[in-house]
Amino acid sequence: MLRFLLRRLLAVLPVLLVVAVVVFLILRLTPGDPAAVIAGNNSTNEDIDRIREQLGLTKPLLAQFGIWLGNVLRGDLGYSYYLSKPVTALIAQRIEPTLSLALGTIILAVGLAVPLGTLAAWRMGGWLDRLLSAFSVAGFSIPVFVTAYVLIYVFAIQLQWLPVQGYQTLFGAGSRGLAAWAYHLVLPWITLAMIYVALIARVTRAAVSEALTEDFIRTARAKGLTEGAVLLRHALANAAVPIATVVGIGVALLIGGVVVTETVYAIPGLGSLTVDAVLNRDFPVIQGVVLLFSVAYVFINLLVDLSYLVLDPRIRY
Amino acid sequence: MKRRSSLVAAALLTACLSLPLLAPAQTPPAKVLRMVPHANLTVLDPIWTTAYITRNHAYMVYDTLFATDSKGKVQPQMVDKWSISKDGKVWTFTLRDGLEFHDGKQVTSEDVIASLKRWASRDTMGGILAKFITQYEAVDAKTFRLVLNEPCGIVLDALGKPSSNVPFIMPARIAATPGTEQIKEVIGSGPFIFKADEFKPGDKAVYVKNTKYKPRSEKPDGMAGGHVVNVDRVEWLFIRDPQTQFNAIKAGEVDMIEQAAFEQVSSLKVTEGVQIVDLSGAGLQFFMRFNHLYPPFDNVKIRQAAMVALGQEAFLKTQVGVPGLYRYCKSIFPCGTPYASDNSSYFTGMANPQKAAQMLKEAGYNGTPVVMLRPTDLASIAKLPLVAKQQLEAAGFKVDLQQMDWASVVARRAKKDAPDKGGWNLFFSAWASADIASPLTMAMLNAQGDKGWFGWQNEPRFEELKAKFARASSDGEKKKLAEQMQILAMDTATHAPLGQYNQPSAVRKNITGLLENGGLVPLMWNVRKD
């Protein structure tokens, strides 16, 4: 187990190095010049050259990469060209909204999808199953921004129960408590959860329905266990591994995939930070955020693998 | 089991729906004004950048020696009185009483001089003025002198310059920062104090009323007059999505959208509690810029043919589309500003493809493709290249329309490579009228070849005329020189004006007192929230 952990952690390093090289090169090969963006409309080539020099963009590509990598190894992701702030500080400022959005969404999605998927599998072909299938198709096919605008129109504009936009911090200065935080996130959570409820519920349904055909289920029923116990202790427990896998994938996708939701609800998270950075060619910020996402993906995958040990005692590393 | 799951679902739904009851009251304090700015505020130094959003931020925090009123006249702001020596070479200014920075220190002549020097190191007009100044002299804490090498006609115009870069006054220790580096602290002496601890780029910027600010006694007029603050706090909330902006103002979550999307103007007009206001004065001007270095536009006759091929009406209808918000104007100096003139040589602003085709033939155009840059992500100008392509092709040009984001356009337009090797022939943009109202601030008239503005026109006559303009002492003389420059601009086809438009704001009806100004600055003094 310890050897497995160590091996997996060591395997992270080449992955991150590859990500670092690819992101660095892609950004440098993309059209666009941060110095030209910073210089603004009323500038000349002389201004742009001066700014490029200040930003260190006139150095050879290899030297630029070496400096950046050296700083990263020391825990320094560099300075934003545009905001003149450390990238780590910018990420720290923006990570709370994104994590709040992603974790809340996944909790809501799992909380709804697993029971619904289990019940649909239990009563396969029944009205709940058919309803869930219809919902899954809708959840997958309706774009996030459409769901968001419909929810805003109904709950924020017409009923005026919830706010149209904005984020209320949970920690530190400006916090107005848990209720205010949740109040601003209800609509974004529901918006994003639609897709993940559809995804997780379908996987749960498939996994549980497969488990329900196994011999041990017939044995459990023959022993006189209640249907609830059969479903929860035997069918769902045996379907847990694929469900954990899809939840893991969902979390990983969510962290990087909240851009549209953050934009529609004006949530100042990592998604909008990345969009601004891309539009302004703010290389250090893009590199920092992509590196962070990569680390997050790798560790979520590791957590999912470790969860298998708990969910299925037959699995050994 | 079915019953149990129904109960769980019902409990979840109830929990979701009852959240509003748990939430704190959403009614904002009476005197908090919430505005959606036109862009994300990222840079806080109004001298380091010319970005309008930074300039607007600076108008909240800093004060200026002079300010421009709604009629374009320069009026004293921090200055109480001033005098000019008989030979016109010594200008003496006295600051008014009670000027204090947000850190509690008095505004002194030293602060003013340091601020002017830093501004002059970055701003075009400031740079021209600086060439006249031989000495900055602090006579006492409130009095300073500018000693010139010869009489200059632009001293007040430069000091009261309404748009980027504006000569904002900062503490000397901050203004000591080289103009090529960003300042680290935001301390002004203006009517609002910037809350650095609440600033989150990409989210919000917060300003609170400067209770120690002493406004002038005159009525507010444009950027001039008394800067009386009637709200306790102003929050700029950056909302990127125009539809969310619309929803937010409709729901009363924000009081003002600085620049309403043209597509939403008609809907906003009929939205209860919301009104459309136009504070932009002479508005903005669309233009098309030629690259003078490469064929076919290294040939003045071909540039002129392109000018004749362009008709403003199609550009304005396609890009703006809201009647009443755009106007035809063939002058390079925006209509409604002091140097606007109808004398525009052969350029009419009306499309004449037949005449353009004839001119093209006479100029010997050989079918060289014209590389035109189109910023697809900049909605405010994204349609202009589409219209230009159609109009130029109607005249016989071969157009290679290349689509990219704005960041790529600004990088590409700085490249002096040949158009088929990563360079360009044409790009489009828009300027606020205040930025191009004077020949000294109009970037397109910076025709110093390699050292000039993108397009790199080399036309020394502009510099000669600008030098005369800077020395001119009367308005009549300046106007005559501006007209000469306009004719020269048309004859050498520096760029093509594509018409003017106004940028409306959407405002809740309980907001009053917004001031019109030519710089498109959402001035927050004088504003009331009832």
Contact (CB<8Å) A33/B414: yes
pLDDT at A256: 63
Task: Give residue-wise pLDDT tens across range A125-157.
Answer: 899 999 999 998 898 889 999 999 999 999 999
Interface probe, candidates A42, A83, A168, chain B, greatest B C-beta count within 10 A = A42
To the nearest whole Å, the CA of A304 is away from the closest chain B CA by 27
Task: Give residue-wise pLDDT tens across range B386-445.
Answer: 999 999 999 999 999 999 998 899 999 999 999 999 999 999 999 999 899 999 999 999
- Chain A residue numbers touching B204 (CB-CB < 8 A): 268
Q: Hey, is the C-beta of B40 within 8 angstroms of any chain A C-beta?
A: yes
- Res. A255: pLDDT tops 90: no
pLDDT at B11: 45
pLDDT at A84: 77
Query: What tokens were used for B477?
Result: 């003389």
Of A32, A182, A186, the CB nearest to B408: A32
Query: What tokens were used for B335?
Result: 């209509």
- Res. A254: pLDDT tops 70: yes
- Chain B residue numbers touching A160 (CB-CB < 8 A): 251
From chain B residues 60-89, the ones with a CB under 8 A of any chain A CB are: none
Contact (CB<8Å) A46/B451: yes
Residues B253, A163 contacting (CB under 8 angstroms): yes
pLDDT at B201: 86
CA B102/CA A203 separation, integer angstroms: 60
Q: How would you write chain A as a 3-class SS string?
A: CHHHHHHHHHHHHHHHHHHHHHHHHHHHHCCCCHHHHHHCCCCCHHHHHHHHHHHCCCCCHHHHHHHHHHHHHCCCCCECCCCCCEHHHHHHHHHHHHHHHHHHHHHHHHHHHHHHHHHHHHCCCCHHHHHHHHHHHHHHHCCHHHHHHHHHHHHHHHCCCCCCCCCCCCCCCCCCHHHHHHHHHHHHHHHHHHHHHHHHHHHHHHHHHHHHCCHHHHHHHHCCCCHHHHHHHHHHHHCHHHHHHHHHHHHHHHHHCCHHHHHHCCCCCHHHHHHHHHHHCCHHHHHHHHHHHHHHHHHHHHHHHHHHHHHCCCCCC
Strands B79-84 and B233-237: unpaired
Of B24, B182, B411, the CB nearest to A180: B24
To the nearest whole Å, the CA of A14 is away from the closest chain B CA by 32
Contact (CB<8Å) B19/A179: yes
Contact (CB<8Å) A50/B180: yes
Of A46, A94, A165, the CB nearest to B239: A165
Query: What tokens were used for B466?
Result: 């600008």
**Nearest-CA residue of chain B relative to A260?**
B241
Contact (CB<8Å) B1/A228: yes
To the nearest whole Å, the CA of A174 is away from the closest chain B CA by 8
Contact (CB<8Å) B412/A179: no
pLDDT at B61: 98
Interface probe, candidates B241, B250, B508, chain A, greatest A C-beta count within 10 A = B241
- The model carries a pTM of 0.86
Per-residue confidence in pLDDT tens, chain B, 530 aa: 444 444 444 444 444 444 444 444 455 556 999 999 998 898 899 998 888 999 999 999 999 999 999 888 899 999 999 999 999 999 999 999 999 999 999 999 999 999 999 999 999 899 999 999 999 999 999 999 999 999 999 999 999 999 889 999 999 999 999 998 889 999 999 999 999 999 988 889 999 999 999 999 999 999 999 999 999 999 999 998 999 999 999 999 999 999 999 999 999 999 999 999 998 888 999 999 999 999 999 999 999 999 999 999 999 999 999 999 999 999 999 999 999 999 999 999 999 999 999 999 999 999 999 999 999 988 899 999 999 999 999 999 999 999 999 889 999 999 999 999 999 999 999 999 989 999 999 999 999 999 899 999 999 999 999 999 999 989 999 999 999 999 999 999 999 999 999 999 999 999 999 998 876 899 999 999 98
Secondary structure letter of residue B30 according to DSSP: T
pLDDT at B18: 44
Query: What tokens were used for B20?
Result: 């509003």
Percentage of residues in chain A with pLDDT exceeding 70? Answer: 99
Complex confidence, ipTM? 0.86
Interface probe, candidates A37, A53, A150, A165, chain B, greatest B C-beta count within 10 A = A165
Contact (CB<8Å) A160/B244: no
Q: Hey, is the C-beta of B248 within 8 angstroms of any chain A C-beta?
A: yes
pLDDT at B28: 52
Question: At A5, is the pLDDT very low, low, confident or very high (cuts 50, 70, 90)?
Answer: confident
To the nearest whole Å, the CA of A264 is away from the closest chain B CA by 6
3-state helix, strand and coil shares in percent for chain B, rounded to the nearest 5: 30, 20, 45
For range A166-181, the mean pLDDT: 90
